[in-house]
Amino acid sequence: MNLINISGNTFYIRGGTNTGLYLFDNNSALIIDPGLSGARPNKIIKILNERNIELKYIINTHEHNDHFGACSQFKEYYKDVEILSSEEAKLYIEKLELFSKYIMGGKSNIFMDEKLKNRSPKEICIDTVITEGILNINNKKFEVFNFKGHTPGSIGVLTDDKVLFVGDLLVGEEMLSKYDFLFLFDIEEQIKSLERIENIDFEYMVIAHSKKFISKDESYKIIDKHKTAIDKYMNQVRTYLNNPITIENILKHIIVNNNLSHNYKEYHFFKSSLISLISYLIDLGEVNYILKDGELLYYTKNK
């Protein structure tokens, strides 16, 4: 594990979830997406100690524990560290049980909880809620962007070195080629967020789940691939909706026809994304429903 310089005072540490780091002039630091709890935060602390860097701030790009889970360990070591997130992310970060309830659509169970066991071992408190716009920290300016779509509370962070951290708005090409049925909360907002990137003045981008950081020119290619993935599954859903069908049967077709590997947790993630897709098509005025013999069936409206 190494501290890799991207540009100027902006660095990152590769991992299952890439962690950003901005080094201030006084050798204190801000990190973006600390990752899961466990061995990784201890290794990051070692890296910081070897360079006499003191962690002062943590920004969480969104409310999934593989991004914020280590906050509690950093808080134990750096007592005065300030933890920041959006208002929507704060709700889920401070109430860990809400995520599994949202995924299940009701009370969770041991099957799901075992799959989500890599949670923060202790409660996390968000000290400061941040909103879109200029964020002043330690006499430096960062810019925060609403990148809703993957989650309601997703944000991006741009440093003064023109490095843009996008969290899970995008995934790396190597991951996208294997898992293109994306975990999305709001399709309309996701599309808007993807389109916003092109108008942001940045030179490099850090994707949380990717093997490398990329240039702005490289980002256009992967943005297009994400749009293509959304269109691919939206068109599949439209085809299945030619006749009244349940969500469970649509999901079965998607999993089987696209050879999507899955466990209990991933099945529910897929189902959540499918519901988001259908809700988007309903909002577009394309889809209606009927209740028949105890089943809820969706279908495409006659044009």
Q: What is the DSSP string of 167-201?
A: TTSS--HHHHTT--S---S-HHHHHHHHHHHTTS-
Q: Is the pTM of this model over 0.75?
A: yes
**Spatial distance between the Cα atoms of 294 and 149, rounded to a whole number of angstroms:** 32
Complete domains list, the chain, with CATH = 4-229 (3.60.15.10), 233-300 (1.10.10.10)
Q: What is the pLDDT of residues 61-70, one digit of tens each?
A: 999 988 999 9
pLDDT surpassing 70 at residue 220: yes
Determine the pLDDT at residue 191. Answer: 97
4, 64, 59, 50: which is closest to 31 by C-alpha?
59
Q: What is the pLDDT of residues 98-121, one digit of tens each?
A: 898 999 999 999 998 888 765 555
pLDDT surpassing 60 at residue 18: yes
Mean pLDDT of the chain: 94
Least confident of 11-20, 137-146, 170-179, 253-262: 170-179
Q: What is the pLDDT of residues 163-216, one digit of tens each?
A: 999 999 999 988 898 889 999 999 999 999 999 998 999 999 999 999 899 999
3, 73, 62: which is closest to 36 by C-alpha?
73
Proportion of the chain above pLDDT 90, given as a percent: 87
pLDDT surpassing 90 at residue 303: no
**Average confidence (pLDDT) over 20-34:** 97
